[in-house]
Amino acid sequence: MKKIKVSVVGGSGYTGGEMIRLLLNHPNVEIQQITSESYNGKPLSRVHPNLRGVDLKFCSAQDLEPADLLFLCLPHGQSAQRLEEFTKLAAKLIDLSADFRLNNKDAYLKWYGHEHPKPEILTKFVYGIPELHREEMKQADYISSAGCNATAVILGLFPLIKAEAVDLDKPIITEAKVGSSEGGVKAGPDSHHPVRSRTVRSFQPTGHRHSAEMLQELKLDSINFSATAVELVRGILATSHVFLKDNLTEKDIWQIYRQAYKDEPFLRLVKESAGSYRYPEPKLLQGTNYCEVGFELDQDSRRLVVISAIDNLMKGAAGQAVQAFNLMFNLPEETSLTFRGLHPV
């Protein structure tokens, strides 16, 4: 089979590095170019030391050549501004920024505080969670990879919402505890190690932009989301509290999740009766494209606590984008994504 020529635009960040690592092991892919203005002409290992020995160098985006697909790993705002440039170079795009995740220009204005520069193109991008939009991805030219916090929360709650098991007249409250790599490769005052180390910091108790994706994809009128920074490098643990409409048993809830995820290659249901890891644990998912989902039913009420975990750089970014790429090109969905994690780490 002829290899698919892809280029990574913005390859010097954490997401770009994971994207390159996955594509190097993809049997159907030829990496054509990797751009970085700051590291133009430098070897990949200058910023991605785990890629030592790979005979590739960064180039400038000005030197990009036509490809079959571009992975856009740019800072938020740049993909939308340069969309015409990229569509001239490739018929297919997968954007990993937030620029095209929302399909409504008014929602974009509300959550991002400014008008979208290309509102007419928003509906042409398929939202990038394969478990929700697999069939659309198979026909898509443009995919917008989902936000990492949104991915963790949506995959935890989607089966319950779809089954109409949740009492939507009561609040849905969810919190994500996140690792430092979620903040990106550029350090700032809040991510300086002496400041961040040993903290449990609520950095976005309300108004987080990923809430917009949760509302859109779960078709909700309201969700109460908070984000907390903890001492992890990789990983997200989302804990969501919902109230059930009926007196469901744990067996009923298991059946809802199994029905929704029984054929999903990257969803694992985790609820053990014994052992050290009875619920989803992001540490065990480092480097993998899996999402683990578990739950606990409050026996004194109809409150259900849903626990979901991912690696924010994989299922929350590069891994999910490669999963979408496989669907776009009618390849086996698990290609280059079969790493199952390490223990202990």
Identify which of 317, 288, 277 has the alpha carbon closest to the alpha carbon of residue 150.
317
Question: Is there a contact between 320 and 145 (Cβ–Cβ < 8 Å)?
Answer: yes
- Which amino acid, one-letter code, is at 322? V
Q: In angstroms, rounded to a whole number, what is the distance separating the alpha carbons of residues 118 and 188?
A: 30
Query: Which residues on adjacent β-strands are paired with residue 174?
Result: 225, 240
For 130, residues 6+ apart whose C-beta sits below 8 A from its C-beta are: 137, 320, 323, 324, 327, 333
Q: In angstroms, rounded to a whole number, what is the distance separating the alpha carbons of residues 200 and 237?
A: 13
Question: Is there a contact between 73 and 96 (Cβ–Cβ < 8 Å)?
Answer: yes
Q: In angstroms, rounded to a whole number, what is the distance separating the alpha carbons of residues 134 and 265?
A: 12
For the chain, first and last CA: distance in Å?
A: 37
For 210, residues 6+ apart whose C-beta sits below 8 A from its C-beta are: 147, 148, 149, 150, 153, 225, 227
Hey, is 294 helix, strand or coil?
Answer: strand
| Active-site residue set | 148
